[in-house]
Structure 1
């Protein structure tokens, strides 16, 4: 596989043409190619007869080398496995369909239990406008101290950051500025901020809802469901189909999402490969 050094418009279009054949599974990389090319990270491609058959995207996020991939065949997964082995990064976080990640880990001779997630998309055909919550409001976070302090607090809580290094990596000025540019939504109850969610990753049809977080003192009261309903409503108003991933073990979240109208796409995993 070859690293793309000169990411020209022509090269980007060729890669996008391939990724859009499975749009829902490639939203994250499509987003970077279409919206954040200047901070895209590393891209590698494999070819057969001058046609792109594999794509690997590696983006260092401050904690790990987040790695997503696309392949048209088992042989392609083997090529991706070889690339990962040759790069020899010590902190790869591999994201993908469970069976494909499992194949790569087998080739790398890594025997670890997979962290299982369910990948969902919202069934827009069954969408009915959710009941309005008159005392609740969803709004974009502003660049004032109050909002930024809340965003930092919720990011720390969501990612479970404990050490000073972990906290710094997700709340640095550069990181927060980028998050605010991408768009952070705050949930308000009677004017008080009680939760947060983000859209990150969008393609022509889809948009990914992530970092859904409710302040500890307001949990267990149904506010998480309200936050998700408002994010879904916002996505549909933007003519996008919401997608989301959640841990298989998180039965509460799975129940909420499925009752709202989310349907399973596939089994998915975010798997650390520590070598």
Structure 2
């Protein structure tokens, strides 16, 4: 090149931006293949995969604002499955939330579950539900709730095999006019289950004492008896002690989430 010649345009092609790779864990599916699983990372990376899976595999149409409702407050409760850790295209997803229901129970809610048709019958859906349920239970969930179409036999069979029961049929729940079954799975720490167990213990001890001819009053500790009596019971010293005990076990409440779309219960 002459000494004073001007340099031409560079022939070096700009490098493509390197794709972000996020940590994954592996599991073995129902056919013995090793798949990768991880939680939601960020919208730029994962929202397209969520949209594709839900648009292609679910009958109910969802828009980006519905996805953001879940992802902004509960990103740790959205999971993806990939054919391998290096594959950027997810083959399955589950999207959940966890918040207080009617000031009584911490309710986990499975909003969407989608598995690519080519990857079904490999226990991937079951793996995602189990993982989501375990994470929600660790975070304090007392129950898990979801809806599915009333005539979706495979989904009903899966959930009922995992301990879900049909709470009620919701008429015209979906935008296509179909009914849904609302399914619920109480967890081991469900307060209503605990109260039922305490009442059974109280009744059994009352029957035992009556049979032996003794005092028919319950031998249940007074702080438990007060709680069983309900909120209308007159306050007593035992009530104050029980409330102090409950206060010592109270965890810091979760941030109050934004109201859900009207079709999310």
**TM score, norm. by length of structure 1:** 0.42
- The structure in which a higher percent of residues are strand is 1
Which protein has the larger Cα radius of gyration, Structure 1 or Structure 2?
Answer: 2
**TM score, norm. by length of structure 2:** 0.43
